[in-house]
Structure 1
Amino acid sequence: MGLKEELYEEIKRILDYDLQVTNLKRIPSKGDLTLGETAAKIRTAVLFTDIRNSSIYADTHWQKTTSKTINAFLNCALRIVKKNNGEVRSFNGDSLLALFDPNNSPCTGAVTSAMELIWAVRNIIAPSVCEKGYIENFDIGIGISFGDILCSRVGIRGEDNNDLIWTSSTTNLAAKMGNQASKPFNIIIDNKVWESIPNKLKLNETRLLPQNKYEGLTQLTPTFPRLTPGPALSLRPPLLPFRTSYWEGTIMPFAKGLEKVYKTSYMIPLS
């Protein structure tokens, strides 16, 4: 049988096969699936990240230099993801795709990873890379989305001839947001992630601020007691609640519609 006939038969077999799908409450691995016959559905958060302008970087540096720089970044990202209950399931050049434990606040883990990774890039990776004289303004973009993902094992039989793929609009959206993320907003998340993360990550906090120092706030006219002779009194202006956030909401075209997304570059220092 020639290759053409073999391909006709194999493609017909793949397209006609009734793929057996199982719902999983954990991140699947290769051992959970058989090649082309079974798939796993998981509902969780997905993080995509890659290096900005990596093609220009690769074109202006030696291959060894490029390889070492990418290795340093991916090594750092992998360790931070695992620290926050995530698993990296795909490497592609200078990018990676990570999924987070669906039983352990996956959106919180993903956003925490993103904020810690931005801190690591700014304070560890970029200074170290620049010190070697490799590149200036080393930077990354991160996209995070939440939803159902279908994982299947594809390829042909053989140790190095098959891998897992993660098909869904969830992974596509994370990749698109990650590709668009850059300074001053290195992290972009979708609305589902935004609604799932705690307020401490949204950074919406109420502060008490002196009312007479901020325009646009309701001005209250304080009344002071009539003073009588005696020790001098120190009078402070009343305080008003003031909410602040380091996120910016916007609309992004995706597929055939629009997605509400949120952007930030807030960092969480690593200890």
Structure 2
Amino acid sequence: MGLADDISAAVTDVVCSDWDVRTGTVVPGTDDVKLKNGAVELDAVYLYADLADSTGLARDFTKKTAAKVIRSYLDATCRVIRARGGEIRSFDGDRVMAIFIGDSKNSDAAKCGLQINYVVNEIVRPKIEANLPAIKNKGFVIKHCVGIDAGKAFVVRGGVRGHNDLVSIGRSPNVAAKLSDVRSSYRTYITKAVFDRLNEKSKYGGEDKKLMWDGPATLKVGGEDMSVYRSTWHWKP
């Protein structure tokens, strides 16, 4: 059989077979999901954290400088995610995806987003500008965005034996990813589904207990008008 025949047989096997689905009580790792039509259904909150303008970073600076900036951002972001109970499950260049489950998953993810904003503004950016003078001299400003949504998703293994990874399929991971692409003065975006489930501490901040989230606002996400809340607040870890 040639390659085209192999591909045809593999696709037929996938589309004509039923999923072997189980409900997940923990965020699965790669080996926890069967490669052949295995799926774990999660009721989860998805968080995507994305460094802005990595194209300009790669274009205007040396590879070593760009790599230091991206790695610094991802290192700091991942430390916050893990501290807030999130499970990191994928990287895409300058973007990281995490999954939160459990009774406080919405509040944990929202707090994580605000804490990422703190570490980017108060730690990552000053450290980079102090130690990589080309960044500041050329006027490159380190910015980011975090998108968060809640809902049920399928976690499956994509790829072939020996070359595969987990893929989350569903509305919530897709929306969270698109929200992390928004470029504005706001740094954290959550959907109304997440906002409605926040505890008081993740909703109000400061000594005067101000609402940390602006909204609801209507934002077009993937061609759909969606109700979202946005924040510029940062929260020290």
Normalised by the length of structure 2, the TM-score is 0.92
Q: Which residue number in structure 2 is paired with residue 58 of structure 1?
A: 58
* Kept in 1: contact 2:178–2:222 (CA 8 A): no
* Kept in 2: contact 1:152–1:165 (CA 8 A): yes
Distance of 1:37 and 1:26 partners within structure 2? 19
Distance of 2:223 and 2:21 partners within structure 1? 27
* Kept in 2: contact 1:81–1:98 (CA 8 A): yes
Runs of 4 or more, structure 1, over 4 Å off, are 204-207
Compared with structure 1, are the counterparts of its residues 9 and 263 closer, same or farther at alpha carbon in structure 2 (3 Å cutoff)? same
Distance of 2:98 and 2:134 partners within structure 1? 27
Between structure 1 and structure 2, the one with the greater Rg is 1
> Quick one: which amino acid aligns to residue 262 of structure 1?
Y
Q: Which residue number in structure 1 is paired with residue 16 of structure 2?
A: 16
Q: Which residue number in structure 1 is paired with residue 213 of structure 2?
A: 247
How far is 1:199 from its partner? 2.0
Distance of 1:80 and 1:67 partners within structure 2? 20
* Kept in 1: contact 2:179–2:221 (CA 8 A): no
Is residue 180 of structure 1 aligned with residue 182 of structure 2?
A: yes
Q: Which residue number in structure 2 is paired with residue 203 of structure 1?
A: 204
Residue in structure 2 matching 1:261, options 219, 228, 232: 228
Distance of 2:223 and 2:144 partners within structure 1? 27
Distance of 2:117 and 2:206 partners within structure 1? 21
* Kept in 2: contact 1:36–1:152 (CA 8 A): no
- Any idea what the Cα deviations from partners look like across 1:204-230, whole Å, max 9, x if unmatched? 7895xxxxxxxxxxxxxxxxxxxxxxx
Q: Which residue number in structure 2 is paired with residue 140 of structure 1?
A: 144
Gaps spanning 5+ residues in structure 2: where? none
Normalised by the length of structure 1, the TM-score is 0.81
How far is 1:98 from its partner? 0.4
Q: Which residue number in structure 2 is paired with residue 120 of structure 1?
A: 119
How does 1:142-181 map onto structure 2 within 5 Å? 142-158=146-162, 161-181=163-183
Name the SS of the counterpart of 2:145 in structure 1: strand
Distance of 1:205 and 1:118 partners within structure 2? 16
How far is 1:257 from its partner? 3.2
How far is 1:46 from its partner? 0.7
Distance of 2:156 and 2:76 partners within structure 1? 27
Query: For the aligned residues, what is the CA RMSD?
Result: 1.7
Q: Which residue number in structure 2 is paired with residue 230 of structure 1?
A: none
Gaps spanning 5+ residues in structure 1: where? 208-242
Percent identical: 25
